[in-house]
Amino acid sequence: MVKFTLLFLVVIFFACSQSYEKSYTDLESAFTDWYFKFHPIESTFFGGATQYDSTFPRLDVDAREEYLADVQRFHIELSQIDETKLPETEYVNYMILTEFLSDEVFSLQKSKRYQWDASLYPEIMYNGFVALVDLDYLQMSSRTKAIAFRLEASGTVLDYARENLKFYDKSTVKYADRIIESITLLLDELPMKIMSDNNTMDKIDNHIKILRHNLKYYGQWMRDDYSELEKYNIEKKPSEISELFSHIVGKDYAIGKVSLLAEKRMHKIQDQLFNLSLPIYLRENDEPVWVDRDDSLSVIYWVKDELDNHSINPQEYISSIYAASKKVHDELNGNRELYINSIPNIQIRFDNEYSISPSIARVGRFQLNGKNKEVEYLVKPLETLQLLKINMNRYELDILIMKDLSPGNLQFQQSLSKNSQLLRQIIQNDVTKFGWQYYASSYLINSGFGGSENYAYKLTSLYNALKIAGLSWMEIQLGYHEADENDIIIDLAIKINISESEANQYVTNGSQSPFHYTQQFIGSVEMDRLQTDYKRKNKNIMNLREFHSRILMEGCIPISQLRKMILN
């Protein structure tokens, strides 16, 4: 009788756990279907549902209310599932989905970008066209048909702008102009990128003509009518900044402690830089009279200037990128601890003139084609990078290639594309993504990359880390701590050795991508901490291949969840 009772309880427990798992997986499946319906551009990008390739997202009042109601309904249904009873993978996905839904509610009810950002609407159109033009999985007839429908629907997107925008933000007009210029350049090339019968091509030509007119009118509307709206108040209380921080960076971090952490990190990096720089400095100079920390910094920055002499010849830019890519891949072929995936064929060319690269890209952007066996690396012109204050020596270029391609973001996206969990492809955590880029490049360098020039790569990597920590410090000081802008400009220039005019540009542009550098800083700190904790737990481990493989297998999930998966 006792045995029967125990068996009965085991069966009941197993059945309940199976019920929880099925309830969650059914809900997740319903969510992805719903997500592609309301995010047709992402549906095109991920190949989610071809019936949405012809549409843009609706942004009218009714659609926003429906979207918010659906999000809240998903949240209620999730809350009825006991996540502690879910298997490990489903538990993590549950947490990812819960966080995403919370962020969406914040975006609609608090952030309300649709009410003040004039660049949002041309950005939607741009992304919708580029998703169809750049990806190779759609047949030409389907691609052309979808492009024709999106061209025809583009006027509605601009109508949403005039209906929704209630506040004027001058900074968004400049970016909107840039996007409109890119769309115009894309429209110039579009007839050469598609093929169809004469009747269809004539319709497309007419749609293009109408869109050009609408874009020109929208640009004028921004200057005449939009500029007359009530000015958007970008000043926020510390509590509001803290809430924004929790949705962009994560709820596991305290914004009040990040600034102090960044300062400590900068001092630590400066000490590391000094220890590496002094022997190189003394080859050419007498030992300084050590009075204060500024004398140590002068040694560091003298060596940095020496490294900058190894500049890139603008006439050999593409060949320099090709050489850097080959050098990194040759090194990876001999480092099986870090590179887990097969190395794809990489074609390198200048990016299309109409391209606006994502912020995650450093030198260029890549496209995975041919079932991920081939990669196109589309490179920004060197002058564009210089305008973005990315002035590279050849060591910097090699490191940026590591971050953009392999073992950085390309390897991450390769692994994600093989992941059967669509949710993790749709919802990617930028803190983890930036963290892996930093970690992977640092690991390769610390493994001896560059041979006799390894010291130069270590120094350059540390300079980059110093800059990211300094810019994160700037973001927190300006936003949360409400520091004076002029004081921050002076301090930032000193802390990371840049001119005050460059520091002023960072401060001025800070509001365009809130906490962009803090995401990178937190990601780098957390990935280092994860490796340290993993090695402490696995004291007898011979190499870190399993560690790297697990990170890539889990994907861009929040680092708090990644820690549980790796360390437990």
- At 6 the pLDDT is 44
Sign, CA torsion 56/365/392/437: positive
pLDDT of 130 higher than 60: yes
- At 562 the pLDDT is 96
Is residue 129 within 8 Å of 186, Cβ to Cβ?
Answer: yes
Residue range 300-348, pLDDT digits in tens: 999 999 999 998 888 888 999 999 999 998 898 888 788 766 777 788 9
Residue range 213-232, pLDDT digits in tens: 999 999 999 999 999 999 99
Is residue 434 within 8 Å of 524, Cβ to Cβ?
Answer: yes
With H, G, I as helix, E, B as strand and everything else as coil, classify residue 365: strand
Within 10 Å of residue 233's Cβ, how many Cβ atoms? 9
d(CA 59, CA 69): 14
Is residue 391 within 8 Å of 362, Cβ to Cβ?
Answer: no
- Average predicted confidence (pLDDT) for the chain: 89
- At 542 the pLDDT is 79
Q: What DSSP assignment string belongs to 230-241?
A: EEP-----HHHH
Sign, CA torsion 505/506/508/511: positive
d(CA 248, CA 74): 21
- At 313 the pLDDT is 84
- At 152 the pLDDT is 96
- At 10 the pLDDT is 40
Is residue 27 within 8 Å of 81, Cβ to Cβ?
Answer: yes
Reading the block at residue 426, the tokens are: 């749709």
> How many residues make up the chain in this entry?
568
Reading the block at residue 489, the tokens are: 């400009």
d(CA 151, CA 163): 20
Mean pLDDT, residues 158-172 taken together? 96
- At 381 the pLDDT is 77
Residue range 345-364, pLDDT digits in tens: 788 988 888 988 766 557 88
Reading the block at residue 498, the tokens are: 């840049």
Residues 6+ away with beta carbon under 8 Å from 265: 465, 469, 521, 525
pLDDT band at 373 (very low <50, low <70, confident <90, very high): low
pLDDT of 525 higher than 80: yes
Question: Residue 69 carries which side chain, given as an amino acid letter?
Answer: A
- At 32 the pLDDT is 94
**Which residue do the tokens 């061209």 mark?**
151
Helices (H), 357-393: 382-387
Mean pLDDT, residues 259-275 taken together? 95
Please classify residue 333 by burial: count the beta carbons closer than 10 Å to its beta carbon, then call 0-12 exposed, 13-18 middle and 19+ buried. exposed
Of 112, 136, 121, which is closest to residue 45 (Cα–Cα)? Answer: 136
Per-residue CA distances from 124 to 18, 55, 460, 553 (Å):
41, 11, 37, 31
Contacts 24+ apart (CB under 8 A), 141-149: 141/196, 142/50, 142/53, 143/194, 144/194, 144/195, 144/196, 144/200, 144/204, 145/54, 145/196, 145/200, 146/44, 146/53, 146/54, 147/190, 147/194, 147/204, 148/200, 148/203, 148/204, 148/207, 149/54, 149/55
CA torsion, ordered 440, 441, 445, 446, to nearest 10 deg: -40
- At 291 the pLDDT is 65
pLDDT of 15 higher than 50: no
